[in-house]
């Protein structure tokens, strides 16, 4: 392989995200807003761009309009230099089926690989929160001499049954011995018996090996056509699968607290907790690392504004993320994440909540431990997150932990 290989990145962004309903009722999971101004896909795309990989294909399928619009408006590269971030919808190129799985998505989009002719293909998921220098994984992949490498992150042994677990070859720590899907009898790592190496859903392939195995899998009617469940085991069985331990990834500007941070926001509670990770004095995940920036599309918005200074009508926010365009007019915000153009009116209280774009909180309203999707309006004096039975009676989803979710464009009445 050449010393400076051509790399094409593919981001798998066709996921429906059923466990994030109702936030995914009108958008694909990677398009769900996060951290005030970002979309979930911005984290994978920022990692690729910061790693120097500027030829990126995003494979979309489920309710992709919001995602396509975000990519098209935000992720514009220099045509002069041949760089691009291109959303590619499901096209039924290989038959009359939509994507049957993540591997089938790659198979049905082989033209994007054949047109670019890369030496290496990097494949990432689109809906995890993490910082990673992908180029270090690519270097490890090349050094291993193996045709496929999967990234793993250390997780507690007791959580092994929630992940695809990677077992390392005891004689070669960068080679996989086995790949176990949600095992109940996993064995801890040799250097850390209380941990396992869980798949992050990030892969590096030599192009020729990927094309061969993807085409082989497409002919197997019994396959689930999934990258983790179908493609990885084929490489493992052939003794050709490498692994990359995320623990050793060094991201510029990382702190001891947020180094190796990775979250799968596959459920409402996980999504909520990941947002809450952002707002402490020393955050578990630091948005303010300017040596490895996170890119997104909000520009031209006015600053946030806080008005009314009387002690009984004080517009203020504490321990919160407040986005541009927000107006806090005589209300309080504590421990919350507010997206652009949110309006908090007088004598209202928002605590431990996540508010998407254009949410309006009426006077004397109370919102606690809630997620409000775009354009939600909470009427004057209404309460949300105080009485779970009342919230359910109004048709809102409430998780077992008590997080209430209000869908897009809804009106919250008394």
Annotated binding site: 99, 164, 181-182, 199
User: 8 and 121 in contact (C-beta within 8 Å)?
Assistant: yes
Task: Give 232's DSSP letter.
Answer: H
CA–CA separation, 314 vs 331, rounded Å?
6
Query: Binding site membership for alpha-D-glucose 1-phosphate: which residues?
Result: 99, 164, 181-182, 199
CA–CA separation, 271 vs 32, rounded Å?
10
CA neighbor of 111 nearest in space, from 204, 206, 30, 8: 8
Angle between helices 65-74 and 41-50 (to 10 degrees): 30
Beta-sheet pairing, 241-245 with 148-156: parallel
Query: Is residue 343 helix, strand or coil?
Result: strand
The radius of gyration of the chain's CA atoms, rounded to the nearest angstrom, is 22
Q: Which helix (H) or strand (E) holds 41?
A: helix 41-50
CA neighbor of 285 nearest in space, from 401, 126, 74, 132: 132
């Amino acid at each position: 392989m050449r010393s400076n290989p051509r790399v094409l990145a593919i981001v798998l962004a066709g996921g429906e995200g059923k466990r994030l309903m109702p936030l995914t009722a009108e958008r694909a999971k990677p398009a769900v807003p996060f951290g005030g101004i970002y979309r979930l896909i911005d984290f994978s795309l920022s990692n690729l761009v910061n790693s120097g990989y500027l030829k990126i294909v995003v494979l979309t399928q489920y309710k992709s309009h919001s995602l396509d619009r975000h990519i098209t408006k935000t992720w514009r590269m220099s045509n002069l230099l041949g760089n691009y971030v291109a959303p590619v919808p499901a096209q039924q190129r290989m038959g009359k089926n939509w994507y049957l799985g993540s591997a089938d998505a790659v198979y049905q989009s082989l033209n994007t690989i054949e047109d670019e002719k890369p030496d290496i293909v990097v494949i990432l998921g689109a809906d995890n929160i993490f910082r990673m220098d992908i180029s270090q994984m690519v270097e490890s992949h090349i050094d291993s001499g193996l045709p496929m490498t999967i990234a793993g992150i250390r997780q507690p042994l007791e959580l092994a049954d929630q992940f695809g677990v990677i077992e390392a070859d005891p004689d070669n720590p960068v080679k996989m011995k086995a790949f176990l899907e949600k095992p109940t009898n996993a064995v801890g790592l040799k250097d850390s018996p209380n941990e396992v190496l869980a798949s992050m859903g990030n892969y590096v392939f030599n192009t020729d090996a990927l094309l061969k195995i993807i085409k082989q899998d497409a002919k197997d009617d019994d396959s689930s056509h999934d990258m983790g469940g179908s493609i990885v085991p084929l490489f493992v069985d052939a003794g050709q699968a490498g692994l990359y331990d995320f623990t050793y990834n060094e991201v510029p500007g990382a702190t001891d607290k947020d180094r190796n941070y990775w979250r799968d926001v596959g459920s409402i509670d996980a999504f909520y907790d990941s947002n809450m990770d952002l707002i402490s004095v020393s955050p578990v995940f630091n948005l303010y690392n300017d040596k490895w920036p996170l890119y997104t599309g909000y520009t031209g918005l006015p600053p946030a504004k806080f008005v009314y200074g009387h002690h009984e009508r004080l517009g203020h926010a504490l321990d919160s993320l407040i986005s541009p365009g927000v107006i806090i007019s005589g209300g309080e915000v504590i421990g919350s994440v507010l997206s652009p153009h949110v309006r908090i009116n007088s004598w209202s209280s928002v605590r431990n909540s996540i508010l998407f774009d254009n949410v309006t909180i009426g006077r004397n309203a109370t919102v606690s431990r809630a997620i409000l999707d775009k354009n939600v309006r909470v009427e004057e004096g209404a309460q949300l997150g105080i009485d779970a039975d009342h919230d359910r009676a109004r048709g809102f989803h409430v998780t077992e932990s008590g997080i209430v979710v209000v869908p897009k464009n809804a009106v919250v009445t008394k």
